[in-house]
Amino acid sequence: MNNIILKANNLHKWYGSIHALKGVDFSVYEGEILGLLGGNGAGKSTLINILSGVYKKDEGEIILRNKEINFNSPQEARNSGIETVFQDQALVNDLNIAQNIFLSREITNKFGFVKDSIMEKESANLIKSLGLNIPIMQKEVQYCSGGERQGIALSRAIYFKAKIVLLDEPMTALSAEGKNRMYDIIQKMRIEEKISFLIISHDIEKIYSLCDRFLIFNRGEKKVEINKNEITIKEIEKTMLQEGI
Amino acid sequence: MKLGTKTYLGALENIIWPIVFIVYGIFCILNADAMLSVRMIKDIAYSAIPLGFIVLAEAIVLLNGNFDLSVGQIAGLSAAVGAIFAANDLVPPAFTPFVPIIVGTLCGCVNGILVGKIGLNAFLATLGTFLVFDGIQLLTRHTVIFEFPEIYLVPGEIWYVSILIFVCALGCLHIFLYKTKYGYHYLAVGSSQKASGMLGLPISKIIFLSFVLSGLLSGISGLFYTGYLGAYGPLIAEDTVFMAFAAAVLGGISLKGGRGKIINVFGGVILLGIISSGLTVLAVSPYVRRVLFGVLVVTAIIIDLMKNRIREKVMKEN
């Protein structure tokens, strides 16, 4: 097993009187793909939102590369190497591909002016390296396909050397071809860049082949933590049924 | 993207300029002697500048995905306070032009706090401040003031100074919006607050900034109105918000926010100048003018809608 890159101990989160996350512990290893499974209200999205800096945890600790972290904003999480690809990818429709990839981390000269041509060149290289065929980086993202949008969101993670990528329902908006391309991109990023992934999905069949390990959640608790080679899809489904998920 | 498509979309973004020439052409046909003179062309540009600053004030808020109903009232209140300070020597003459600008900026801060910090709906919040600023203006000064130190009137009184300052303001806004990272963040928030928030952009600060900028530009407008008229009157900048809205949208600023070239807003300003001067030359009654300007506002919205539909269609085909 590779090194542990992120460790969460006894994480708790309350929304008013609702206890959304109840003492969750887990570790993420370098270059692994970890699947987070569970029904609605299981706590998966809360966990992702805490790790991405959208929400603050109420109790517990998160250790990233041997250092305890406590994010106050998504920007802090991104600066620490945790990139999130949200369900709707957090892309700004009226900005072009290059502007979206570099949004909030633009390349500027010493006077603070944005270097558009460099950002476009870097974006073109990134998009090409992911196997996507988008010839013009000035294309506004609202006119990109679902697969292209996922690729654009993921390319942020590569360029800014993210160590962990959080994916919230990444396959939802994708065609069959888009899903295959997404699989390829994630595998490529894991192998070449040693990036770790945490993936939320309701679609067990789709992510089973992609993940190395699974965490199964129910009502804010981690119920099962298991390696893929120890469990089949049917057993996962059976476990989830037994847990009432 | 094919070159033809790019050219087509570029033409669509700059549609204000053909509209300017067509409208000018129509007025030239109706009264060639007056409309074709060099003096008239100069007057069209010069007379549009005070309103032009209000158009910029509205455009900057629209670009951020909001709406400001109080821009005209901020200009009026700024002009009133500025006039009192200037006419009564309450500050040294050299500082008098800054008074309306400071007042406008403070009014913008109020709107910015209400919308950006407290999170009120921009339309409703600025509807409230519209009444507040209007009332304070009339409480402050409801009669005309003529006596000013010369320096207070210079920016709006000398036509080339007026136009030059406006062009500089336009240039600065263009550089800020399209050449700096802060401008990118500003447009991103205007286009999608949700996505911008997920990426950690400081949304409430940016919205606050948009209203402060808008207030500052409205304050400048108050100063320029006083200079242009050579006097302060309580009806300064009254009823300008809808004109400003129409000019900004005709200039290509999207009603949805996040899209538009601030430079093209100049086209919208010139268009208003042409229509206003043309109607004056043709001695059109104030009531008919009101109807025509109402039609202009609706036309602006229709053009914005059509542009969006055409752009969408063209991009989908490519």
CB contact under 8 A, B185 and A104: yes
| In the predicted structure, residue A118 carries a pLDDT above the cut 90 | yes
Q: What is the CATH number of domain B33-317?
A: 1.10.3470
Binned at pLDDT 50, 70 and 90, residue A168 comes out as confident
Predicted local confidence at residue B59, as pLDDT: 96
Binning pLDDT at 50, 70 and 90, where does residue B179 land?
very high
Contacting residues for B270 by C-beta, under 8 A, at least 6 apart:
B20, B44, B45, B48
* Strand pairing category for A33-37 and A213-218: parallel
Tokens of B213: 């900028």
Q: How far is A73 from chain B (nearest CA, A)?
A: 6
Q: State how far the Cα of B274 lies from the Cα of B252, in Å rounded to an integer.
A: 18
**How far away is chain A from the Cα of B195, in angstroms, using its nearest Cα?**
4
Taking CB atoms and an 8 Å limit, are A92 and B258 in contact across chains?
Answer: yes
Subunit contact A143:B316, Cβ cutoff 8 A: yes
Supply the pLDDT for residue A231.
86
Tens of pLDDT, residues A57-115: 999 999 998 899 988 888 889 889 998 887 767 889 889 999 999 998 899 998 889 99
Please list, in sequence order, all residues whose beta carbon lies within 8 angstroms of the beta carbon of residue B246, skipping any fewer than 6 positions away.
B268, B272, B293, B296, B297, B299, B300
Give the residue extent of every domain in chain B.
33-317
B199 CB near a chain A CB, below 8 Å?
A: yes
- Residue contact B184–A91, C-beta within 8 A: no
Please determine, for residue B3, whether its predicted confidence score (pLDDT) is greater than 70. no
Output B161 or A209, whichever has higher pLDDT. B161
Question: DSSP state, A230?
Answer: G
List alpha helices for chain B, DSSP H: 3-13, 16-30, 32-35, 38-63, 71-87, 98-112, 122-140, 150-157, 159-179, 181-191, 193-198, 203-229, 241-250, 262-281, 286-317
E strand or H helix that includes residue A118: helix A116-129
pLDDT reading at A192 higher than 70: yes
Whole-number mean pLDDT of chain B? Answer: 91
Mean pLDDT of A180-195: 84
Question: Residue A167, by phi and psi: left (phi above 0), alpha (psi -120 to 50) or beta?
Answer: beta
- SS3 (DSSP) at A37: strand
CB B144 within 8 A of CB B231: yes
Least Cα separation, residue B1 to chain A (angstroms): 7
User: Identity (one letter) of the amino acid at B149?
Assistant: P
User: A88: distance to nearest CA of chain B, Å?
Assistant: 8
Q: Which residues of A touch B (CB under 8 A)?
A: 53-54, 73-78, 84, 86, 88-95, 99, 103-104, 106, 108, 112-114, 135-136, 138-140, 142-143
Q: Which of residues 228-287 of B touch A (CB under 8 A)?
A: 254, 258-259
Contacts of B1 in chain A (CB under 8 A): 135-136, 138-139
Token look-up 């919230």 returns: A168
pLDDT tens track for A6-31: 999 999 999 988 999 999 999 999 99
From the CB of residue A203, how many other CB atoms can be counted at a distance below 10 Å? 12
In angstroms, the CA A200 to CA B45 distance is 58
B186 vs A contacts (CB less than 8 Å): none
Mean pLDDT of B121-128: 96
Distance CA B310, CA B97 (A): 45
Contact of A239 with A207, CB cutoff 8 Å: no
Q: Which residue has the tokens 């959208």?
A: A54
- Cβ pair A88:B195 closer than 8 A: yes
Chain B residues in contact with A86 by the CB 8 A cut-off are 198
Q: Which residues of A touch B198 (CB under 8 A)?
A: 54, 74, 84, 86, 90
